[in-house]
Structure 1
Amino acid sequence: MDRSEAVTPIPPRAPARGIPWFVIVGVLVAALSMRGPIVAPTPVLRDIEADYGIGSATAGLLTTAPVLMFALMTPLAALLIRRAGAELALLLSLSGVLLGTFIRAVPGFGWMLTGMFVIGAAVTIGNVVIPVIIRRDVPSARVGLVTAAYVATLNAGSLLTSLLTVPLASRIGWPAALLTWSVLTVAGIVLWSAHLRRARRKGDRWGERYSGGEPTGTAGVREIDPATITGPLPVVARGGRERSIARRPVTWLLLIAFAIQCGIYYGLSTWLPTITADELGLDPSAAGALASLFQGAGIAGAFLVPLLARFTPAIVPTLTICISWIILTVGMLVAPELTWLWLTIGAIGHAGGFVVIFTTLVTVSRTDGEAAGMSALVQGGGYAIGALGAPLIGGLHELTGGWSAALALLVGLTIIYSAGLLGAGVAARRR
């Protein structure tokens, strides 16, 4: 969903300089660990259920745990970044993902769930700080492109784990297969350790690197061009200064859209391999490969929606996202034999939905402070509600013995989602 979903204050930008390739490579390598570890267990959920003797609703908690941490940990993550600095915060994020991966490998479902909570808390820090690093270190003209590349790499990490976990599990067992993905995290730790040492040799500090430059708004953020937004807004609310946001209908429309997008994305990411295996009679490896289309096609989708936003009327990206989600859910319900097609189309929705939501948020906000408060409310509430998606889908499957009820629920949710997002789009056009 992609993709990059957290917030923190932005320091003023330094004078124009060359493209920081080392930073960009480090960001993209780190991105491989920002979604992959969360998606990794989904292709082997049936094995996990059988080995630990749990039901589908309980298994769904494995993706609920990290999404819930996104909602709870964002304020603490922003505080950590302000105190520790961006480079150290990202290094701590990757170290936390590695720790959670090892905790998850300890036998027992309780340990596995604990590991997912740790991974979620650690990923939250990365969600918050990576957009900040991009907007701080990358020249303004390249921010949109680099952020889109970051979102695409998030999908690439999910693609790798969805595609290869089952083949690995067939050879070494699913616990060892999940542990194998720690190699990507270790690579990120090595890169950012080197970058941190280099930054300290230069004497850089988070609060000192940019002490001057562009003026900032009331929330300590610089003006952001909605045309370059490719992910959630990297700002955080300051002390409830903008309480009027709760009285604006557009805030709740965006919250509804964000919550439903989170719920559908993480719910489908959790259960797609199982759904395709059950509905189409595929073996686990083929089901994982088919489900990986949902992540893989999102790589292209991450670039498509910003392109539409720049060259077409504002309604076009919004309609594209809504139609994409509706085609995906209706198609899977009525014609599961074409799941490959529905997943390819639906990937546009999950890759670009967050872009549309936060571009709309920027457009309707009247001040930087209002943007900060609205962003915090939409993300905090949205993640908390969206965390229910995976266990709800699993529970409906467990209750009915099939997937039709769960898929019908997703169809209904996408209709509500479309109404909320289009309503917010109308408010944005009036602005």
Structure 2
Amino acid sequence: MSNSRWTNLFVAYLALVGAFLPYVGWSPSLGAISEELGLSYSQAGGISSITGLVAGVMIMIGGVVASQWGSKNVIMAGLAAGVTGQAVFAMADDGFELIVVARVLAGVSVGFLWVATYTMAVSWFRDGKKTGRALGVMLSGDGMGALLSLFVFSTVLAAFGWRMGLTVQAVCMGAVLVVVLFVSKNAPVAGGQELHTVPAELVVGVSAERTYRSLLNRNVLSALLFWIGGVGLFAAISSWMPSILVEEAGMSESLAGFLTALFSIAGSAAALSVPILAERLGSTKRIIAVGGFLTAGSIAAMTLFLSTGNYVMVVVLVPLVGIGVYASESLSLAEAIESVHPKSAGVVNGITLGVPWIVSGFAYPYLLGAVKDATGSFVQGFVMLTVATIVLCAITPFFIKEAVPVVEPKSGALEPQR
């Protein structure tokens, strides 16, 4: 069982890394893409916003589907959509319509991969009460995904052009699809036989009631609000920071991509280490709150330095924002999942990851582009992001109640023991 756990965690990790290619693999060349296709800043921001909106919907759908049909099938569907989306994007001409189609497919890919990979990780590690550690490993995949998509592949985009670069990305995602097909498998479900002895109509009724209660759980709501703030910052920074550093600071595409990737690289290190620290300290709420304050303070300082043109300090603050976001996201999501019944974990995972993409994953990138079109500057947009971050990331952790994991019942009982 232990070897299977780590093998499937590795495959889920690999698929999660692949999800970054359709989401931000193009952003280091945003300037070249916009110039060649004649896009305004609002339309350029819309490239990410469309993906974020569709990804959010797919995450919620994928959470339900993964609970019913298995995470592996959802991961494979996400990879297939990513391959197609990158290929379509590479063929886009002087029109916005084909780009929209490509970004919709990218949204399907990102959404399915995000929720299904996390659900697979949780499913394999939950009975060992190592959910936080597994989620930390998965969140650390963001660093590798950001490094590959924003830095390594930016050299391919610069050397061969963005169209060929996107084609190469599609081929790489196809290779990951083959690995998932032949290596991964869904986690066994404990206690399934006992639950099947209950009349189907009763199980459906209780499941609906249980799901409703789970979504109103204070830890689930707190995690949801924090993730809205965190996902929005990730979407805005990963989409626009390379362009800001290239156009306003005069950096190369590869350097701008690498410096932007520090958001996820530093954050991934925090996501991997902080859950272990929380286990030893026996308290997660305090660490989540500290991460929230670090996030809000860093984005406020970044806005100040952006307004003064001090791009060195802007770059220095990028990883600090990432550390605050990722450290608290992994712990808040673990608290949310461990506060509900195992059968509701997939749905809670889908809601917590999906709604933020629909809300801030859509709004933040478009907002920055629209503000840039209207004012000629990104500063006012970052001021709005700062206010939202204070509310969503610095205040909401105080409403968390540290949870005792809810386990699958060993008898025919419908309700978990608390």
TM-score, shorter chain, exceeding 0.5: yes
Is 1:385 aligned to 2:359, yes or no? yes
Counterpart of 1:126, as a letter, is: L
**Would you say how many aligned residue pairs link Structure 1 and Structure 2?**
386
Structure 2: runs of 5+ lacking an equivalent: 196-205, 306-310, 404-417
Corresponding residue for residue 175 of structure 2: 187
Change (3 A) 1:68 1:332: same
In structure 1, what is the Cα distance between the partners aligned to 2:52 and 2:174? 23
Task: Report how far residue 101 of structure 1 moved.
Answer: 1.2
In structure 2, what is the Cα distance between the partners aligned to 1:360 and 1:82? 19
Deviates more, 1:302-311 or 1:47-56: 302-311
Counterpart of 2:136, as a letter, is: A
Corresponding residue for residue 117 of structure 1: 104
TM, length-normalised to structure 2: 0.80
Give CA deviations for 1:118-149 in whole Å, capped at 9, x if unaligned: 12212322223223333444582665444422
Task: Report how far residue 54 of structure 1 moved.
Answer: 1.4
Change (3 A) 1:99 1:238: farther
In structure 2, what is the Cα distance between the partners aligned to 1:195 and 1:242? 32
Corresponding residue for residue 292 of structure 2: 322
Corresponding residue for residue 240 of structure 2: 271
Counterpart of 1:282, as a letter, is: M
Alignment partner of 2:115: what SS? helix
Counterpart of 1:169, as a letter, is: L
Deviates more, 1:156-165 or 1:20-29: 20-29
Asked if structure 2 preserves the Cα contact closer than 8 Å seen for 1:257 and 1:420, the reply is no
Corresponding residue for residue 329 of structure 2: 354
Corresponding residue for residue 285 of structure 1: 254
1:36 to 11, 15, 21: 21
Deviates more, 1:302-311 or 1:269-278: 302-311
Corresponding residue for residue 106 of structure 1: 91
Change (3 A) 1:411 1:279: farther
Corresponding residue for residue 93 of structure 1: 78
Alignment partner of 2:77: what SS? helix
Is 1:334 aligned to 2:311, yes or no? no
1:149 to 137, 157, 163: 137
Corresponding residue for residue 221 of structure 1: none
Corresponding residue for residue 409 of structure 2: none
Asked if structure 2 preserves the Cα contact closer than 8 Å seen for 1:262 and 1:382, the reply is yes
Alignment partner of 2:91: what SS? coil
Q: CA RMSD in A?
A: 3.4
Is 1:23 aligned to 2:11, yes or no? no
Is 1:258 aligned to 2:227, yes or no? yes
Corresponding residue for residue 300 of structure 1: 269
Counterpart of 1:384, as a letter, is: I
Give CA deviations for 1:324-374 in whole Å, capped at 9, x if unaligned: 2123312322233212321121121232232233244357x4766887776
Corresponding residue for residue 157 of structure 2: 169
Is 1:413 aligned to 2:388, yes or no? yes
Change (3 A) 1:405 1:213: same
Give CA deviations for 1:163-197 in whole Å, capped at 9, x if unaligned: 1343222221112112222243122122122236x
Is 1:50 aligned to 2:24, yes or no? no
Structure 1: runs of 5+ lacking an equivalent: 1-15, 200-205, 217-236
Give CA deviations for 1:347-405 in whole Å, capped at 9, x if unaligned: 21232232233244357x47668877765554443332112110001111111111211
Change (3 A) 1:102 1:263: same
Change (3 A) 1:136 1:117: same
In structure 2, what is the Cα distance between the partners aligned to 1:366 and 1:162? 36
Corresponding residue for residue 66 of structure 1: 51
In structure 1, what is the Cα distance between the partners aligned to 2:51 and 2:324? 21
Asked if structure 2 preserves the Cα contact closer than 8 Å seen for 1:258 and 1:379, the reply is yes
Deviates more, 1:241-250 or 1:393-402: 241-250
Asked if structure 1 preserves the Cα contact closer than 8 Å seen for 2:86 and 2:167, the reply is yes
Corresponding residue for residue 220 of structure 1: none
In structure 2, what is the Cα distance between the partners aligned to 1:183 and 1:372? 30
Counterpart of 1:331, as a letter, is: A
In structure 1, what is the Cα distance between the partners aligned to 2:263 and 2:168? 22
Deviates more, 1:28-37 or 1:129-138: 129-138
Counterpart of 1:320, as a letter, is: V
TM, length-normalised to structure 1: 0.78
Counterpart of 2:37, as a letter, is: Y
Asked if structure 2 preserves the Cα contact closer than 8 Å seen for 1:294 and 1:347, the reply is yes
Alignment partner of 1:282: what SS? coil
Higher share of residues assigned helix = 2
Asked if structure 2 preserves the Cα contact closer than 8 Å seen for 1:152 and 1:300, the reply is yes
In structure 2, what is the Cα distance between the partners aligned to 1:242 and 1:190? 34
Give CA deviations for 1:201-247 in whole Å, capped at 9, x if unaligned: xxxxx69x54747978xxxxxxxxxxxxxxxxxxxx95355546777
Task: Report how far residue 59 of structure 1 moved.
Answer: 0.9
Deviates more, 1:179-188 or 1:340-349: 179-188
